[in-house]
Amino acid sequence: MKDWGEPRFRARQIYEGLYKHGFDSFDSFTTLSKALRKKLAENFVIRRLRQVDSISSEKDGTRKFLWALGDAYKIESVIIYEGRRTTFCISSQVGCPLDCKFCATGKMGLLRNLTPGEITEQVFRMAEIIGSRPTNIVYMGMGEPMLNYEAVIAAARVLGDVDGFGLAPRRITISTSGIIPGIYRFADEGQPFSLAVSLNSVDDEVRKKIMPVSKKYPIEKLLQAARYYTEKSGRLITFEYVLLDKFNSTQQDARKLVRLTHSLKSKINVIPCNSDEELYRPPSEEKIAVFRESVNDRSRRITLRKRKGWEIQAACGQLYAENERRKKKPKN
């Protein structure tokens, strides 16, 4: 706006039009002069995500979306309803380079990072489609947010800004597989958003097998980083723990999990793996119950929350995979 000789506040009017009001055409910016609207339309486009596919769970309303980006790539987002909460689960990358063995997104490899606009758009589009706002946003879709740090934070700032999308920043959660430098950076910058770490195992050898990222960032160092964050921010940290049969779901694992995390200001989300592959599948209901109880019994500081809908619906990356499969199927 400065380059165009416009007053400073024009920039804010445009920002609010885009992010607070969600205008998708420059004609809607009625606070601006007609001439300026025209000039904007000549120089810029407001690009929206195109919906390619959407599936809903009849059981609990969980709804997944597949979006086409401006290029050939596609990404997923999910809406999860749980009591009074409506959680939007969004992607930060197309694919993911970290190759966790139980994760559908991991199989894609990294195709590219998302831009801040492509990240915020997932939220705007879903809010538009369901006609209501989320109570929470989690970066638990495709990708590793800490490997696209700048764009993820830029998008979160818009989503958590009163003149932007206007959700309280602590209701926006960044989830990481344990990229330690990212955790320190997040803590040192005093980011107002919440942080979750996908721990998924308390044994280095096992964790290395299911999450290759652990070779570079071992559990002890990861927990040190988590402690640094909780102490620096005064906030609690969430540990995600995906239960995988034969890997991480014994009573001993549960006890060790409590032992390693009980002195940290934290909560634990235990989530049964939702894929049903030969190697990576959830434990039996019985084992899940034992695990939950063993974690629960041993510390009051730890709350357990089952991520509803997650287990009956495909995890992020799976709708994408399904769509690719369908495309490849020969037509006859």
Residues binding ligand SAH: what is the number (CB under 6 A)? 18
273 has catalytic annotation: no
- Is 78 a binding residue for ligand SF4 by CB under 6 A? The answer is no
242 binds ligand SAH (CB under 6 A): yes
Q: Helix 149-159 crosses helix 116-130 at what angle (to 10 degrees)? A: 40
Q: At residue 12, what are phi and psi to the nearest 5 degrees? A: -65, -40
Bridge partners of residue 53, in order along the sequence? 66
Per CB under 6 A, the segment of 45-53, 69-77, 258-266, 268-276 that binds ligand SAH is 268-276
Site string for ligand SF4, 132-151 (x = CB under 6 A): -----------xx-------
Q: Could you say whether residue 238 binds ligand SAH (CB under 6 A)? A: no
Task: Among 275, 283, 302, 313, indicate the residue that binds ligand SAH (CB under 6 A).
Answer: 275
**8-state DSSP, 238:** E
For β-strands 85-89 and 266-272, DSSP reports them as unpaired
Is 140 near ligand SAH (CB under 6 A)?
yes
93, 110, 103: which is closest to 318 by C-alpha?
A: 103
Which structure tokens are listed for 265?
């200001």
Q: Provide the 10 A C-beta neighbour count for residue 310.
A: 23
Residue 307, SS3? coil
Q: Does 172 help bind ligand SAH (rule: CB under 6 A)?
A: no
Among 102, 186, 291, 320, binds ligand SAH (CB under 6 A): 102
Hey, CA dihedral for 257, 258, 259, 265, is it positive or negative? positive
Nearest CA-CA partner of 268 in 234, 292, 244: 292
Give the total of residues touching ligand SF4 (CB under 6 A).
11
- Asked if 249 is part of the footprint of ligand SAH (rule: CB under 6 A), the reply reads no
Question: Shortest Cβ distance from residue 64 to ligand SF4 (Å)?
Answer: 15
Closest to ligand SAH by CB, 22 or 212:
212
Residues 88-127 that bind ligand SF4 (CB under 6 A): 96, 98-100, 103, 105-106
Beta partners for 55?
A: 64
Structure tokens at 184: 């320190």
With beta carbons less than 8 A apart as the criterion, state whether 196 and 174 touch: yes
Residue 176 as a binder of ligand SAH (CB under 6 A): the answer is: yes
Pairwise CA distance, residues 159 & 120, whole Å: 7
Task: Identify whether 76 is a catalytic site residue.
Answer: yes
The binding site for ligand SF4 (CB under 6 A) comprises 96, 98-100, 103, 105-106, 143-144, 177, 198
**Footprint on this chain of ligand SAH (rule: CB under 6 A):** 96, 102-103, 139-140, 144, 175-177, 198, 200, 240, 242, 271, 273-275, 315
